[in-house]
Amino acid sequence: MPEAEQASGKKLMLFKQKSLQDITAQPLGPPWTIIVVDDDRQVHILTEEVLKNFIFEGRPIQLFSGFSGQDAQKLLQAHPDAAVILLDVVMETNHAGLEVVKFIRGELENKRLRILLRTGQAGQFPEEKIFEEYDINHFLEKTDLTSRRLKMTIKVALRSYRDISELDQARRREVGLRQAADAASQSKTNFLHMMSHELRTPLQGAKGPFEEFKLQFHLFSGMKKLKTLIAAVDDAELQRRLSSAVAEINAEVESIAAQGLKSVRHLLGLIEDILDFARIEAGKLTLSVAPCAVQSIVSDVVDIVRPLVERKKLLLETHLQQDITVLADAKRLKQILLNLMGNAIKFTAQGSVSLTVTRDGDLAVFVVMDTGEGIPMDKLEVIFNAFEQADNSTTRQSDGTGLGLPITRELIRKHGGDIHVKSTPGQGSIFDFSLPLATPSRHV
Classify burial at 72, counting beta carbons within 10 Å of its beta carbon; exposed 0-12, middle 13-18, buried 19 or more: buried
Residues 241 and 270 in one domain: yes
Residue that terminates a domain, selected from 218, 247, 282:
282
Distance CA 367, CA 346 (A): 17
Q: Answer whether residue 172 is part of any domain.
A: no
Over the chain (444 residues), the average pLDDT of each successive run of 10 is 43 45 58 95 92 92 95 96 94 92 94 90 67 85 81 94 92 87 74 71 79 86 91 91 92 88 79 77 83 94 91 94 92 92 93 95 95 89 70 47 83 92 93 89 52
Residue 401: per-residue pLDDT: 58
Q: Answer whether residue 11 is part of any domain.
A: no
Q: How far is CA 356 from CA 192, 337, 369, 427, in A?
A: 36, 11, 8, 18
Q: Which domain holds residue 201?
A: 180-282
Residue 111: per-residue pLDDT: 93
Residues 294 and 431 in one domain: yes
Distance CA 364, CA 324 (A): 7
User: Measuring CA to CA, which residue among 304, 343, 302, 338 is closest to residue 320?
Assistant: 302
Distance CA 223, CA 240 (A): 16
Q: What is the CATH number of the domain that holds 393?
A: 3.30.565.10
Residue 399: per-residue pLDDT: 53
Q: What is the CATH number of the domain that holds 52?
A: 3.40.50.2300
Residues 136 and 241 in one domain: no
User: Measuring CA to CA, which residue among 365, 356, 353 is closest to residue 433?
Assistant: 365
Residues 336 and 409 in one domain: yes
Q: How far is CA 410 from CA 70, 243, 287, 373, 384, in A?
A: 59, 55, 12, 25, 9
Name every residue whose Cβ is closer than 8 Å to that of residue 352 and which is 6 or more positions away in sequence.
314, 315, 316, 317, 370, 371
* Residue 411 burial (CB count, 10 A): 23
DSSP 8-state secondary structure symbol assigned to residue 11: B
DSSP 8-state secondary structure symbol assigned to residue 425: T
Q: Answer whether residue 235 is part of any domain.
A: yes
Q: Answer whether residue 175 is part of any domain.
A: no
Sheet with strand 84-88: strands edge to edge: 55-56, 59-66, 32-37, 84-88, 114-119, 138-141
Query: What residues does 317 pair with on adjacent strands?
Result: 354
* Residue 98 burial (CB count, 10 A): 20
Residues 400 and 384 in one domain: yes
Residues 210 and 251 in one domain: yes
Residue that terminates a domain, selected from 145, 167, 201:
145
CB 101 within 8 Å of CB 134: yes
- What's the domain count of the chain? 3
Residues 36 and 106 in one domain: yes
Residue 395: per-residue pLDDT: 37
Residues 334 and 213 in one domain: no
Residues 276 and 294 in one domain: no
Residue 3: per-residue pLDDT: 42
Distance CA 328, CA 292 (A): 7
Residue 73: per-residue pLDDT: 96
Q: Answer whether residue 415 is part of any domain.
A: yes
Q: Answer whether residue 141 is part of any domain.
A: yes
Q: Say which amino acid occupies 212.
A: E
CB-facing half-sphere around the CA of 113: CA atoms within 13 A: 29
Q: Answer whether residue 23 is part of any domain.
A: no
CB-facing half-sphere around the CA of 282: CA atoms within 13 A: 19
DSSP 8-state secondary structure symbol assigned to residue 127: H
Residues 302 and 425 in one domain: yes
CB-facing half-sphere around the CA of 210: CA atoms within 13 A: 17
Name every residue whose Cβ is closer than 8 Å to that of residue 177 and which is 6 or more positions away in sequence.
none
CB 113 within 8 Å of CB 85: yes
Residues 43 and 132 in one domain: yes
Residue that terminates a domain, selected from 282, 312, 347:
282
Q: Answer whether residue 214 is part of any domain.
A: yes
Residues 258 and 295 in one domain: no
Distance CA 85, CA 64 (A): 9
Residue 122: per-residue pLDDT: 55
Q: How far is CA 248 from CA 16, 108, 190, 215, in A?
A: 113, 86, 47, 15
User: Measuring CA to CA, which residue among 55, 59, 46 is closest to residue 86?
Assistant: 46
Residue 62: per-residue pLDDT: 95
Interhelix angle 147-216/41-50, nearest 10 degrees: 80
In terms of phi and psi (left: phi > 0; alpha: psi -120 to 50; beta: otherwise), the region of 416 is left
CB 351 within 8 Å of CB 314: yes
H/E run at residue 133: helix 127-133
